[in-house]
Chains A and B, each alone.
Chain A
Amino acid sequence: MITLLVNGERQTVDADPAMPLLWVLRDLLHLKGTKYACGAGLCGSCTVHVDGEPVRSCITTAESVDGRAVTTIEGLADGDDLHPVQLAWFETNTPQCGYCQPGQIMTAVALLERSPKPTDAEIDEAMSGNLCRCGTYLRLREAVHQAAASGGGES
């Protein structure tokens, strides 16, 4: 049995210890906001936070996160109130198909916690591991700046 604190709730799952956290979240805990896209840590779509640090959940085993705190995209908003980073994404009309955006948002939240007012170069460095095939990169960068301006990193 593996025990996790997911979005503030204690969860116990009976999972193969080698099962990636991605599938624990999606299939065992039915949290579908975290996305599969490459399964190999190449695209960032599955990004979640473990003890506050961004990780690729598709290559993070269940046993390695036993007893740790996991935050997913579903854990960002406070009820009806979007997290400032989500709000910035919303206000800049960033998503097209939207599939990569939970991973983009989780990466940006971690960036802003580390660096509340990032430059373009810092944003590119932090976000270039997150692929978007719709090509929303320009609005993504703008959204990170907007979130930074609204104090998204200090929430």
Chain B
Amino acid sequence: MSTVTKVSRRSFLQTTGLAGTGLILGVRNGWASLIPVPGLEPESGVFEPNVWVSIGEDGVVSLTVHRQEMGQGARTTCCMLLAEELEVDLEDVAVVQALGDPRYGNQSTGGSTTVRLNWIPLRRAGAAAREMLVEAAARRWGVPAADCRAESGAVLHGSERLTYGELAAAAAELPVPEEPSLKDPADFKLIGTPRRLIDTEDMVRGDAVYGYDVDLPDLLVASVERSPVAKGSILGFDADAARAVRDVVDVIELEPNATGLTNAGVAVLATNTWAAMQGRAALNVQWEPGPLATETSDQRRAELEQIASGTGTVARAEGDFEAAAAAAESVFEAAYYAPYAVHAMMEPPAATAHVEGDRCDVWSATQAPQWTVGEVAGALGIPGSNVAVHVTLLGGAFGRKSKPDYAVEAALLSQKSGRPVKLLFTREDEIRHAFYHPESYQVLRAALGPDGSPTGWMHRSVFPAIGWTFPDGGATPTGQERGLGLSTMPYRFPNIRIEAGRVASSVRIGWMRSVCNMFHATAVQSFMDELAHELGRDPVEFHMAMLGAPRVLEVEGIDSQFPYDTGRLKAVGEAAAEMADWGRTLPARQGLGFAMHYSFYSYAAMVAHVSVGQEGELTVHQVDTAVDCGPVVNPDAIEAQMQGAVAMGLSLAKYGRITLREGAVEQGNYHDYPVLRMSEMPRVNVRIIQTGEVPTGIGEPGVPPTMPAVLNAIFAATGKRIRDLPLAGQDLG
């Protein structure tokens, strides 16, 4: 951290909510204001061995979190890793949320990477600080460092004790160890214990600060009417009508930006949100919809099917599937469709910007502060070093808040209006101006030998790629996208051919919690279930037989540092089946469905127990799930993430559908894009299996198996095989 304060650190934290280069979220942790305090000079005696740890002579230990909190527990988990090695109690630290800054390494909070990629770096940061504090104490006492130990923010030797505050100035003079020794996991005090998320009290008090809640003197609120079709343009609008609305201050036209993140729009700026919304409603913008006003969902399905009947880019080929199919006794085939979907997180995107000359402060509920710096700097034409991105709490995100479009709009509006501007998406904006989970159409074929033994696997997946969103991106799914559940198929078929088809989209494509894993798991796990029934085999027995002996699968999209071990997948599958008492007899119209999936280097399996009434009403009673995400940091957060993943997967299975008419999204709010309610929530039993040496993803891996587990359970209950999502509107009776 480059800025340290002359005032007492504690009073500084209490009065400004800012420490070093970061900002503190929430009153409990000292948030009182979001306004930077200028003119503060560095204070001597502050111990800052790296960008994550800071200890003042007053004894205040500040830990900086460089990943973003959206409910997955990242702030707490990062603090646990630092505090474990630093030997401080979590209750005794001030938590600073980092600005977007390359010194932290990759800050983008997505892809379930926070713990996997910071497991070693954050522990090293804490351990380096601890070693320096111990060394400082040892020198003070004239004893060997090896005879001293650190505990709860102090160094001890016999009956002697020096607090970290007392040692801070001396430790600051010592060299930072390059290879600090990490604790033996057997000595962990924090890691592996259930911890409440550090922001919980602020949240239940209503004091937690999200992107929507930023307040500044002289603030204007902006609401933007955007082109209903991506890349549409403005023909005209009634600025006078908007200006006539009480409390409206300005009307500003926004051009689409060069990087493809923002579309054309007209912003109404007012002294309060309601006035901005009312002014916007009066604009009556006339649009030229442009070249993308073509896609209508009803016609789209046929296009996807047609593409799937051709060949795609080969993602994985082993043996010769075509020869196996030609020699087969029979070829079993099925096709699966899932529509576009959208995040619908509770807090719509929100960002505040204040441009002053060639500098800009941004306060954003963003997963990607570094990308925000770059985009804002580019849009304003100022250096990235002049942009400070402060990160608030995120009221849900699920991938949507990885895109910095809303911060760019806020920054441009502040530059043009000369005032700080808070840009707020409404719910309708969130649904209609998203970066969508892609729709998909997938064809799967299995070649079956004369004795019923599977001899070949063919999977062709057609979906619009994320690259489609950007001017320099292609429409062909990348290896990384194909690695999300397509090329990672774990079963031992002697002949395999896996392809991805190319299709354009008239909407922007983005990441949504587990991304392509959702539809790939749905297809693969439904198809395996179908195949088991086709062959007259028990589904779980069939899955396990097809996995065969454990092996490390080396396919595209997998970082070989974190090997994909099919034995771990088998273990979670067997555990989930055992938890659910798989094979038990159930009453009529009830069923169990099994699914398992590897994603984000973690392994998850589920058994769903459903019943389907005579009229087709679906009840999901219980989901038993086993997950292996490596060594556990916070078991309470793992349970919460698996419960939440079931809720999201079930929401999507039941309701998730975005449709287009001439390129424009037809849905707009929770009445036409419904999500799961409490009364629909099943019991969720979570078993955590710990293997491996590095913690892996937990925010996303629970979502993919949910949908196929439920669909397979519906088949078990009714004999109806659902291959198109969502379930809403389909007759299960």
A-B CB contacts (within 8 Å), total count: 185
Contact with A along B656-674 (1 / 0, CB 8 A): 0000000000000111000
Once A33-B205, A35-B347, A135-B643 are accepted as A-B contacts, the answer to whether A98 and B71 lie under 8 Å apart by CB is yes
B675:A133 contact, CB within 8 angstroms:
yes
Name the interface residues of B321-370: CB closer than 8 Å to any CB of A.
Answer: 343-348
A39 at the interface (CB under 8 A from B): yes
Return the CB mask of A8-37 against B: 1 if under 8 Å, else 0: 000000001001100100111011111111
Q: Assess whether A90 is in contact with B679, with CB atoms less than 8 Å apart.
A: no
A1 CB to nearest B CB, Å: 14
Known: A26-B273, A38-B427. A95 touches B678 (CB 8 A): no
- Choose from A23, A76, A123, A140 the contact partner of B272 (Cβ within 8 Å): A23
Interface of chain B residues 676 through 691 with chain A (CB within 8 A): 676-679, 681, 683-684
B676 → chain A closest CB, angstroms: 7
In the complex, B395 has a CB within 8 A of chain A:
yes
- Number of B residues, CB within 8 Å of A: 66
Q: Using an 8 Å CB-CB cutoff, how does the interface string of B627-664 with A read, 1 for contact, 0 for none?
A: 00000000010001001111110000000000000000
Report yes or no: A35 in contact with B648, Cβ–Cβ below 8 A.
no
CB-defined contacts of A97 to chain B, threshold 8 Å? 69-71, 345-347, 393-397
Name the A residues within 8 Å of B669 (CB-CB).
38-40, 42
Docked Cα-Cα span, A45 to B274, in Å, equals 17
Q: At the interface, yes or no: A127 with Cβ under 8 Å from chain B?
A: yes
A97 nearest CB neighbor, chain B only: B71
Q: Which of B48-56, B208-216, B456-464, B471-479 contacts A (4 or more CB under 8 A)?
A: B208-216
Q: Does A43 contact B (CB under 8 A)?
A: yes
User: Nearest residue in B to A43 (C-beta to C-beta)?
Assistant: B670
Stretch at the interface among B105-113, B194-202, B592-600: B194-202
A65 to chain B, nearest CB (A): 14
Within 8 A of B (CB), among A90-113: 90, 93, 95-102, 105
A35 touches B647 (CB 8 A): no
Asked whether A19 and B204 contact (CB < 8 A) given A42-B669, A100-B346, A135-B676, the answer is no
Q: Which residue on B lies nearest to A144, using beta carbons?
A: B678
Tell me if B72 counts as interface (CB < 8 A to partner A). yes
Chain B CB count within 10 A is highest, among A42, A73, A136, A137, for A137
Assess whether A99 is in contact with B347, with CB atoms less than 8 Å apart: yes
Are A98 and B199 within 8 A (Cβ)?
yes
A35: which B residues are within 8 A, CB to CB? 210, 212, 346-347, 395
Verify if B207 is at the interface (C-beta below 8 Å from A).
yes
Q: Are A95 and B204 in contact (CB under 8 A)?
A: yes
Q: A128 within 8 Å of B by Cβ? A: yes
- Most chain A Cβ neighbours within 10 Å, of B203, B246, B681: B203
Are B395's CB and A98's CB within 8 A? yes
Task: List residues of A whose CB falls within 8 A of some B CB.
Answer: 16, 19-20, 23, 26-28, 30-40, 42-43, 45, 72-74, 76-77, 82, 86, 89-90, 93, 95-102, 105, 123-125, 127-141
In the complex, 21 of the A-B residue pairs with CB atoms within 8 angstroms, ordered by the A residue number, are A23-B274, A33-B206, A38-B427, A39-B426, A40-B669, A90-B201, A95-B71, A98-B199, A99-B395, A102-B206, A123-B678, A128-B679, A132-B346, A133-B398, A133-B647, A135-B647, A135-B676, A136-B640, A136-B643, A138-B683, A140-B678
Interface, chain B (partner A; CB < 8 A): 69-73, 194, 196-197, 199-210, 212-213, 215, 221, 246-247, 271-275, 278, 343-348, 393-398, 424, 426-427, 636, 640, 643-648, 669-671, 675-679, 681, 683-684
